[in-house]
Structures are given as C-alpha cells and as structure tokens.
Amino acid sequence: MIDMQTSSSATRPLKAARLRALPAFLFNEIDNLKRAAIASGKDVINLGVGDPDQPTPGFIIDAMDKAMRIPANHQYPDCWGTKQLLNSAAAFMRKRFGVSVDPHKNILVTIGGKDGIAHLPLALLDPGDGAIVFTPAYPVYASATILAGGVVHAIPASADSGWLPDFHSGPTLEALNHAGPRSRVLWMNYPGNPSGATASPALYRDALNFAQRHHLTVASDLAYSELYLNNDPACIPSIWQPDIGADIRTTRAIEFHSLSKTFNMTGWRVGFAVGHEDVINALRQVKDNVDSGVFNAIQSAAAAALDRFNDPEINAIRTRYAERAAIVCDALSRITTVTPPRAGIFVWARCPIDSQTGRPMNSWTFSKKLIEEAAVVTVPGAGFGETSADWFRVGLTRETSRIGEAMGRIASLRF
Ligand SMILES: Cc1ncc(COP(=O)(O)O)c(C=O)c1O
C-alpha cells in the first residue's frame, strides 16, 4: 500500500490558505431552515433569489436555434468575443449610453458578469494589495480579492446616505483615505445589490477623480443596467457616458455588463466588459489561461438580445418587476418603512420594529421568523455587511401571484 501523506502534508489542511481565508458563507443557516421547511411539507415561497422566473424572450431563443445549427459554431469559441457580439455590444453602448468604444480594444466577452468580476483581481492585484468595497455589497468583490491574495477594505455605506459613498466629506472620505497606500481597485455597483441604489453621473465623476488621484482602477458592476423600474433609463448611467467625462483611452476603469438579468438569461452565462485597453488586456490574459470563452451560438444569441435591448418584450420584463415591487412595497409599508426601488430586482427594507424592544429587529431573527412562521424566504441584510444588520432583501423574481401570497402571509404576522 502506498502512503500518500508525508508528515508535513498530513499536518497541512487540505484546502489552500486562500480558500481558508474566505469568509464563512453567511447564508447557510437560512438555506438550512429553508430546506427544513420544504422537508416538513410547507409550501415555501422563496424570495431569496435573484434569478428571473420568466423564460428568455423568444427572439433570443430563435437566434440561438439558428446559430446552433451552424457546424463552425461547435468548435472552440472566439474566446475574446465574436466579431458579431463585440460589434453588438459596442452598438448597445452607443445607443444606450452615447458612448463610442473600439469593440476590439475596449470590449471583452465574459462568461456572465461574475467571470469578469471574479478574475479582475487576479489581473490587477499583487498579494497584499487592497481593493475598496462599499458595503453592503455583492459578495464576489470581496471573495475574489481574497482569492487573489488581496486585502479587502470594506467601507460601509448606510441608509442615511441612500447606500451611496460620499467622496467629499464625512466618514466615507476618511475611510477611503485610510484604506491603504497599496489599494489598487475601487469597486462600485449601481443599481446595487442588495440596496437597489442608483448612482448619479456626479457620483461616478467623484469616484473616477478619487481613483485617479490614488492610482486606483475603478471596476463598476452594471449587472442591472436595463432594470430601471421608473421608465427612466437615465437613472442608470454608464461610467463611460460623455457627460461624466472619462476618456476610455486614458482612464483606468472597467465596467461589467451582463445579459443575465435584463434578458432572463442567467443560465446562458454571457456578459461583457467595457474598459481601458490595458485593463481589458490584463483581464484577457487571465482568462486566456483559465477558460476558452462562451459557446459561439450563445454569443450569437447575446448579439440578437443586445440589438433589440429596447424590444417591447424587454420593456414588459421591467413593467412586471415594477408591478411586483409595488405589491411588495404596499404590503411591507404596513409593517415597516419602505422606499420603492428605482431599479433592480429587489426591494430592500428595514426590518419591522420589535414590539418588545422598540427597535428594528435583527435581520437574522426576522428572516428566520419569516421562514418558520410564514414559509417565506428573504435574505437578511446582516449577510451583506454590518450597516445593514437590520435590513432585509426581498427578491422580485417569483410569479406575481406567489409574491402576493407571500406578502399576505407576512402581513398576518406579529412582531
Ligand atoms: C451585483 C451583481 N453583479 C454580478 C452578478 C453576476 O451575474 P452574472 O454572472 O449572472 O452576470 C450578480 C448576480 O446576482 C449581481 O447581483
């Protein structure tokens, strides 16, 4: 028998230090409670997910069907992006945001937004370099930083500032200036997950100016770019749009787009990044070594989607989320204060006041109560950062009637 373990490998944990450095997955407990509720036969309504319930629009499936029947598409993909998709992404940026970019220098196709986001730190950070993340935040900015050996500088935003950072004064600026001389990346995400907060052009201008002064690359995650719920696309700017004033040839920044949420395409895994040529090249170099791109037929379907980003079917997706948001806000306003979201696929609200303490409930306690007493799953804000410990997130990605039913159940609870 072969003994595979030397004495040093026997004492070393199986997992590499970079994996051990990742924070515990905070939502496990909620997942376990959800599973237990399902196992006990309860009719669980899961409003914890951000995965659209509706199918991908038919015109996109038709484009995929055609592209799948072309044998050349069965080979390894054009891993930086097919000419067709790069051109469609550039045209989308022009039509939607008034931005002119070189599709071959400034755009890179990604396997969904997460691929680009998760690999960017490997491209830009040396071990010990910092990345600034405003919390509450999508957890991948922090976990990807840690996997790359970087250090996360989490800077809390709060309800008082509309969940937005302030680059001019107050605690944000102080925290930013103390974030460390070796910070290299500044993450932004508006419309934000979980908060739904949207950024003004002025906020991006401030961020880009701050980043330039401190030699940071701005990485902006625009995963929800088309999910404005108020008929006002201007409430979701791109960092590259002309009125912000950043020149893509000279500004070190990158913006991540995704087809997942806008086009009900989460399972297809396709997105793209638009950025300064050097940043795009650095990310390409990482990806050249870890993946082989997106199936060309999917890229063809993604091009068809972007070509018709304003199709009535896409407007209908927004209208449906806006209706659902209204149902949720109306119901929640009876138990707490809630601001209707301008964008995104979530309602983000403060937990109701606990009648025993007179203070908002802790979000773990509140979310557990919703599962146990109403069989409704929501996401506790505590899992996203400490300033949102008494906030919770309700997903709008379940059928409207199920959302209505969930709200009815919540309304019958006592807090
Ligand atoms: C803020 C944010 N960014 C990026 C993603 C990743 O989406 P995808 O990889 O499907 O494009 C998500 C998914 O939930 C998200 O919420």
State residue 76 phi and psi, 5-degree precision: -50, 140
What pLDDT sits at residue 157?
92
pLDDT (tens digit per residue) in 140-174:
999 999 999 999 999 999 999 999 999 988 778 88
Interval between CA 223 and ligand 1 midpoint (Å)? 6
**Are 183 and 49 found together in one domain?**
no
**Are 138 and 231 found together in one domain?**
yes
Mutate to test the pocket of ligand 1, among 109, 133, 143, 221 (most ligand atoms within 8 A of CB): 221
pLDDT (tens digit per residue) in 214-262:
999 999 999 999 999 999 999 999 999 999 999 999 999 999 999 999 9
What pLDDT sits at residue 31?
87
Mutate to test the pocket of ligand 1, among 135, 188, 261 (most ligand atoms within 8 A of CB): 261
State residue 196 phi and psi, 5-degree precision: 75, 0
- 9 pLDDT higher than 70: no
**1 lies in some domain:** no
Point out the ligand 1 atom lying closest to the alpha carbon of residue 221. 3
Task: Give me the number of domains the chain comprises.
Answer: 2
CATH code at position 81: 3.40.640.10
Spatial separation of the C-alpha atoms in residues 217 and 131, rounded to whole Å: 9
- 1 pLDDT higher than 90: no
pLDDT (tens digit per residue) in 186-215:
999 999 999 999 999 999 999 999 999 999
Interval between CA 275 and ligand 1 midpoint (Å)? 18
Interval between CA 262 and ligand 1 midpoint (Å)? 11
pTM for the whole structure: 0.96
Spatial separation of the C-alpha atoms in residues 381 and 393, rounded to whole Å: 7
**Are 157 and 293 found together in one domain?**
yes
12 confidence band (pLDDT: 50, 70, 90): confident
- Of all protein residues, the one whose alpha carbon is nearest to atom 14 of ligand 1 is 50
Interval between CA 384 and ligand 1 midpoint (Å)? 15
Interval between CA 114 and ligand 1 midpoint (Å)? 6
Identity of the amino acid at 15: K
What pLDDT sits at residue 181?
75
> Are 256 and 89 a contacting pair, CB within 8 Å?
no
Mutate to test the pocket of ligand 1, among 134, 193, 272 (most ligand atoms within 8 A of CB): 193
Q: Which domain holds residue 257?
A: 59-307
Point out the ligand 1 atom lying closest to the alpha carbon of residue 50. 14
**125 lies in some domain:** yes
10-14, 22-26, 37-41, 189-193: segment of lowest average pLDDT:
22-26
**95 lies in some domain:** yes
**Are 357 and 255 found together in one domain?**
no
Q: Residues with Cβ within 6 A of ligand 1?
A: 50, 112-114, 138, 189, 193, 221, 223, 258, 260, 266, 271
What pLDDT sits at residue 4?
55
What pLDDT sits at residue 10?
74
pLDDT (tens digit per residue) in 304-362:
999 999 999 999 999 999 999 999 999 999 999 899 999 999 999 999 999 999 999 99
- Where a domain ends, among 288, 307, 326? 307
74 confidence band (pLDDT: 50, 70, 90): very high
**Are 195 and 296 found together in one domain?**
yes
Distances (CA, A) of 30 to 229, 263, 375, 376: 29, 28, 12, 11
Point out the ligand 1 atom lying closest to the alpha carbon of residue 114. 9
State residue 357 phi and psi, 5-degree precision: -105, -20
**Are 175 and 250 found together in one domain?**
yes
**11 lies in some domain:** no
**Are 223 and 283 found together in one domain?**
yes
Interval between CA 258 and ligand 1 midpoint (Å)? 7
What pLDDT sits at residue 7?
58
Mutate to test the pocket of ligand 1, among 140, 257, 260 (most ligand atoms within 8 A of CB): 260
Is-cis flag, bond preceding 171, omega within 30? no
**Are 99 and 50 found together in one domain?**
no
**Are 282 and 405 found together in one domain?**
no
